[in-house]
Each structure stands twice: as C-alpha cells, then as structure tokens.
Amino acid sequence: MIASTKISHRSFARRLGASLIGVITVVSMATACSGSSHGAQDESTVVVGTWGGDYQKYLEQFVDPALAEQGGSPDAVYATGNDTARLAKLRAEKNSADGSMDVVALSIIEMQQAADAGLLEKLDTSKVPNLANVDEKLKNPYWVPHIYSPNVIIYNTDEVATAPTSYEDLWDEKYAGKIGIQAPQSQDFFHAAATLAQGKNATSDFMSGLPLLKELAPNTQVFASQEQLGAALMSGQVWMTLNWKARAYQWIEASDAPLAVSVPKEGTYATQFEMAIPKNAPNKEAAYAYLNALLDPDAQLGFATSMGYLPSVLNSGMSDKLREQLGVPREDEVLVEALDIADIADNYGDVVSAWNQEIINR
C-alpha cells in the first residue's frame, strides 16, 4: 500500500479557503501592477494563460513547432495556473485597456461563464483557417475547441470483479468507503447524481442531484489532485471513481495498472477544454496565429497519443485503434450527450458551493 494521500473533508475545506485567498491576492496585485505594461509587449510574443505540468509541456512540444511553421508567427510565453485563478484574472481585468493574456485556456464551463460576462472576443474565423477541420458539434463563436474526453467510471479490476454498468454502482453499500473523489472536480459526481435523480442523462439542472450526493458523501475518500486520486486507485486504496477516460489512459500507459473503464448505461458527457482571446488582449493577431497552430493536425495528434484526449479536428490522422482507446465503443456513442452548457454555467456557482459545503466540508 502507498502512504495515504487522503485528506479529511474539513481539512481540505480549510486549505481550499486559504488557496482562494491567495488567488484573490495574486489577482489583485496583478491588476494593480499591470497598468499598460503588457500592452507595450513585443508583438513577436503571445502570452498564453494555461495549465502547467504536462499540458504546458505538450503545448511547447506540439503547438510551438506548428506556430513556428506559420512564417513570422510569434513566440509563445506561458502564464500557468488553474482555471479559478485565470477566470478571476479575466474578471479583474475586464475594465483594463490591456489585459495580461493574449490567449486564455479554460474548461468549457468556465469558458461559457467568461463569454456570458462579456470577457471574450468573438472570433474572426477567417483568421483561424484550421477551424474548417473542427468537428461541427464542438464549434462555438467565442472559443476554439482544443481537446476533449468522455466521462466514464474507472475501477480497479483487482478489487471490482464485475464491471460496473451504472452510476448506481457507486452508491452500492459493498463499495462504501472505497469511492474516490477529487475535491476540485464537482461536475462528474453532480452529473451522475442528477442523472439518477432525473431518471435520464442529466444535461442540465445538476443541483437536482444534491440529495443523492449527500447520501454518497460519507462513503467517499477525498483527494486534492488527479495524481493523488490516481495513485490511490492504482494501489487499491479506493476501488472506483468517475473521471475522464483520458486519465485512465494516462494511468494505464504509465504504470500498466489494473484499471478498466465502463460507460454508465444511463448516459454521460464529454469534458472539453478550450482556448479563446480575451476582449482586451494586447496582441490579438498573435493570438489568432496561436489558435490556428493549436488546431494543427500534427499538434492535435500529439496530444492524443501523449495525454489521451480526443482531437477536435477531423484531419488529425488518428488511427482507429487509438480512437477506440480514447473514446467510447461505437455502440455507446449514443450515450454521450452534449450538456446544456449555458444552464450549467449559469448555475455552476451553486454547484461548487454545495459541493464544498455539503460534500467536501460535510
């Protein structure tokens, strides 16, 4: 067994509160100090607000070369952090003539919130030629879809002999105490609970699942990060979770762990990650060049093979075998439905608040 990475619900809440204070402080300082300095930046650079770690590494490995191939294109500079901090920074800089980012990366819920708040530039599609190759169901006037992955049940095959087929399996008493949840990731479990509560694949009204989630909460172990959750799942500390299939792909590829996935019979959705141009981006032409490089077929395929996410373009050249590894079986594709993202984003504050107060800090 590995050393426990579980944290108490109440302890995590205290850490989260401290982290949010830090985020607010950083955003306030950035706003106060930014002035017009970023607006005077060299036009040969493009500042991309994004995640760090492997995501940044693969942006540098796959997107930067595609950007360089566009003659006269800028060099990318990465400002890394989490979604919460980036969205807070966008809001804080709303009335500034020049923001601190030329391109911003967010998950689709936060991106919809940014669009609703009037923080994003409506895209001039003529400046992103590679958009022509994007799957129509992923397109949006305000952002470029980067990568996505279906949400699935991931389980340890050494501990769970019979493959789970339903969200109801997570509520089964025989798995009490062995369900792992990642504290910052509320939407997966809210979707599952809302689906059971509504008797159909819940594409909206996630709050309808709160009563069922409160029943599940005592039977969960809480982890602060994907890495901690993955380690616990692979070791058998927990037996089952909800997550992106891309995560299962990464964990299995990295360790040959005894993990498998299943698509719940009630239906699921795909988690999407996007990039957009803030309305007050200082270097919009460079931003458009970067977004076009993001959709380069080779760059998209690189993310698929390295991180396990499905490409948003149809010309990546991904093999049928890899698509099978990263997506759901063809017979299950009908179970993957698009969320009513406007509804989810509009009510997401309530979802996160209930998650932290009723589930994490119960």
| Same-domain pairing of 98 and 210 | no
| Same-domain pairing of 166 and 257 | yes
Assess if residue 165 is contained within a domain.
yes
Count up the domains in the chain and report the number. 2
**What does 255-304 look like in DSSP terms, one character per residue?**
H--SEEEE--TT-B-EEEEEEE-BTT-S-HHHHHHHHHHHT-HHHHHHHH
Residue 144 identity: V
| Same-domain pairing of 54 and 186 | no
Residue 236, both tokens: 């058998």
Assess if residue 18 is contained within a domain.
no
Strand partners of residue 276: 104
Assess if residue 14 is contained within a domain.
no
| Same-domain pairing of 256 and 169 | yes
Assess if residue 345 is contained within a domain.
yes
| Same-domain pairing of 138 and 181 | no
**Cα dihedral sign for 298, 304, 305, 307?**
positive
| Same-domain pairing of 160 and 207 | yes
| Same-domain pairing of 138 and 260 | no
Per-residue confidence in pLDDT tens, the chain, 362 aa: 233 344 444 444 433 443 433 433 333 333 333 333 444 456 789 999 999 999 999 999 999 999 999 988 899 999 999 999 999 999 999 999 999 999 999 999 999 999 999 999 999 999 999 999 999 999 999 999 999 999 999 999 999 999 999 999 999 999 999 999 999 999 999 999 999 999 999 999 999 999 999 999 999 999 999 999 999 999 999 999 999 999 999 999 888 889 999 999 999 999 999 999 999 999 999 999 999 999 999 999 999 999 999 999 999 999 999 999 999 999 999 999 999 999 999 999 999 999 999 999 88
User: Which domain does 236 fall in, by range?
Assistant: 149-270+341-360
Assess if residue 296 is contained within a domain.
yes
Assess if residue 283 is contained within a domain.
yes
Strand partners of residue 311: 147
Assess if residue 305 is contained within a domain.
yes
| Same-domain pairing of 266 and 282 | no
CA-to-CA distance for 68 and 76, rounded, in angstroms? 10
Number of H helices, E strands in the chain: 14, 10
Model confidence, pTM: 0.86
Nearest-CA neighbor of 105 among 55, 67, 149, 69? Answer: 55
| Same-domain pairing of 122 and 255 | no
Assess if residue 334 is contained within a domain.
no
DSSP state at residue 121: P
Residue 180 identity: G
| Same-domain pairing of 185 and 243 | yes
